[in-house]
Structure 1
Amino acid sequence: MRLGPVLNRIIAAHSYPPVAEKLLAEALVLTVLLGSTLKTEGSQLTLQAQTGGGPVELLVCDYKAGELRGYLKFDAERLAEAGSDPTLFALFGEGFLAITFDQAATGERYQGIVPLEGSSIGHAAEHYFEQSEQIPSLISLAARHDAGADCVAGGLLLQHLPEGEVGRDRLHVRHDHPEWDHAKTIAATLKDEELTDPATSLETLAWRLFHEDEVRVEPGTAVSRGCRCSTDYFAGVLAQFPLAERAAMADDKGEIVVDCAFCSRFFPISLTDIAGHDHAE
């Protein structure tokens, strides 16, 4: 998959340095790839990477019904010291990756947590699937932001899924299965420039890689910037706090100012508007 305009809408809300921008862009692509595996409409995938002493303190992205958002918190001075092409360890230290699936149909939440290991956040996600799901995976991520141009990022998720048929071997326990090795070898030929080249369609890439096998293209889901912040939403959240706590949070104008990290905007919410949600309840 590939992100262009929606990626730039998300990134434009912040003044990220190139290293941070590339990391967030790749994480957003990864979030969509993982979110696309959700089968129930309204389910949500949340990806979170947290520091273990590195300059990147927090990375969080989520995907729900085609809506995508993401945010990166970091120490600017320490990140600059990491150089222009830092390792995953240089960015996060002994950090961890958490992937959370919220299932809309059942209301259940499932979360897997693994160390941030490997040379990229994609490799860390491969480790998650290997350890938490026992599903061998190959994840390729790339982001490009040329001078004077918008950012473009792309990614590939290839997984060795179990056949799941009664009486047949489950493929995920057969790591030496020749078909999986064959597919990995072919997918490894995909170049970063191809993933980030808008002139090359995703269908063309799929055909180039796997034309010797069956290629089936399913309709995709349009992805949009999905920050769910609004005055009404925040007023409803604040209405859950006791009156005394609301009064303590308010400023001299009788407003509680909410900072949305995702879209980098401030929302002044009056105590009167919050009280209106009390009556609505």
Structure 2
Amino acid sequence: MSDIIETWFDQPLLFTIAERHVRGRLVRLGPTLQTIMGAHNYPPVAEKLLAEALVLTVLLGSTLKDESGQMTLQAQTGGGPIELLVCDYRGGELRGYLKFDAERLAEVGSDPTLFALFGEGFLAITFDQAATAERYQGIVPLEGASIGEAAEHYFEQSEQISSLIKIAARHDPEAGCLAGGLLLQHLPEGEIGRDRLHVRHDNPEWDHARTIAATLKDEELTDPATSLETLAWRLFHEDEVRVEPGVSVSRGCRCSTAYFAGVLAQFPETERADMADENGRIVVDCAFCSRFFPIPLDEIATHNRAE
């Protein structure tokens, strides 16, 4: 293993085990996660689900080679109390939002299944490569014990990449919401670092790495006293593991008065007038950060002229 650099919160650790044709990602979210959650008053079940989805978003987003690219995760209901879950990652900027029926969610208990939360819902994972204008999307049923397992099905069906995903989230009385995750993927011999790969499913090297990674405990993923390098060493100390820090993660809601004014400027003037309140302002509600933006009509008109 290369020199220990000690990665703790809000920065993924990228690693490869070349001899076993494996690549991986580890991440633990703390302050960034708490900032995102602090904008809402989610009940515990919703908070845990969104925390797990945000970890998954970072794990998948950190596989993008283009830092200007974006990875979007969307889970939509098939009749369950969770109506919509959306997270996205772009260049280390992370945001997420959850829409749900509070009364129905309260009936599912403290440890619901994916089916209890979503019904026969689906998971859509989209990679937008800004540099090449390429867009890849896979849609799979929300099946399995967790949203991580549903993502494993995505890689198996859409990318033909054998993967293991482990995610844990908990609420610490002092630190607030903490969550961590591991993504492990098998790449064919000589293909470390390449995209959209096809692999054999009976490879003993992959089976060995997957079996070891599966021993990782939830409490280890969320333990603030254990660095991500230490976790990688505990799991794979028999192998040569190459590690490097990924892009630091922060709450990245892209809402602003200027942005919304630009969007509203695309509407006809008569429609903007219908949207305005008695004070001549259009109030925009950003679901991601739970903020309201009152934008005067004359400011939108000014933006239009500037364009």
- 231, 237, 240: which one aligns with 1:214: 240
Residue 45 in structure 1 maps to residue 71 in structure 2? yes
Tell me by how many angstroms 1:219 deviates. 2.4
| Structure 1 residue 156: Cα displacement | 0.1
1:171 to partner: Cα distance: 8.1
Alignment equivalent of 1:109, drawn from 135, 156, 171:
135
Q: Deviations over 1:123-169 (max 9, x none)?
A: 0000000000000100000001033441110000000123366xxxx
CA distance in 1, matches of 2:190, 2:220: 33
Work out which structure has the larger RCO, using CA pairs closer than 8 Å and 6 or more positions apart in sequence.
2
Counterpart CA distance in 1 for 2:180 and 2:70 is: 21
Confirm or deny that 1:246 pairs with 2:272: yes
Count residues with an aligned counterpart: 277
Q: Deviations over 1:196-252 (max 9, x none)?
A: 001000000001101111111112211000001111110011111111111111111
Return 88-97 or 102-111, whichever deviates more. 102-111
- What is the aligned counterpart of 1:36 among 58, 62, 65? 62
1:68 and 2:94 matched: yes
Residue 159 of structure 1: aligned partner = 185
Question: Please, which runs of 5 or more residues in structure 1 have no aligned partner?
Answer: none
Moved more, 238-247 or 24-33: 238-247
Alignment pair present for 1:81 and 2:83:
no
Which letter maps to 2:82?
V
Give, in whole Å, the separation in 1 of the partners of 2:163 and 2:224.
25
Q: Percent identity?
A: 85
AA paired with 1:114? V
Distance (Å, rounded) in 1 between the aligned partners of 2:186 and 2:207: 10
CA RMSD of aligned residues (A): 1.3
Matched, 1:146 2:172: yes
Q: Equivalent of 2:294, from 240, 255, 268?
A: 268
Gaps of 5+ in 2: 1-26
- Alpha-carbon separation, structure 1, partners of 2:199 and 2:34: 40
Q: Could you say what secondary structure the match of 2:295 adopts?
A: strand
Q: Which amino acid is the alignment partner of residue 48 of structure 2? A: K
TM-score by length of 1: 0.96
TM-score (structure 2 length as normaliser): 0.88
**Residue in structure 2 matched with residue 201 of structure 1 by the alignment:** 227
* Cα distance in 1 between the residues matched to 2:221 and 2:257: 38
1:17 aligns to 2:43 (yes or no)? yes
- Asked if the contact 2:85–2:99 (Cα under 8 Å) also holds between the matched residues in 1, the reply is yes
CA spacing shift, 1:223–1:173, aligned 2, 3 Å = closer
Structure 2 Cα separation of the partners of residues 101 and 244 of structure 1:
37
**CA offset at residue 172 of structure 1?**
4.0
CA distance in 2, matches of 1:257, 1:263: 15
4+ residue runs over 2 A deviation: 146-149, 162-165, 170-173
* One of 229, 235, 250 as aligned partner of 2:261: 235
Change in Cα spacing, 1:171 to 1:228, as seen in structure 2 (3 Å) is closer
* Aligned-residue offset at 1:91: 0.3
Does the residue aligned with 2:106 lie in a helix, a strand or coil?
helix
Residue 15 of structure 1 and its aligned partner are, at CA, apart by: 0.4
* Counterpart amino acid of residue 181 in structure 2: G
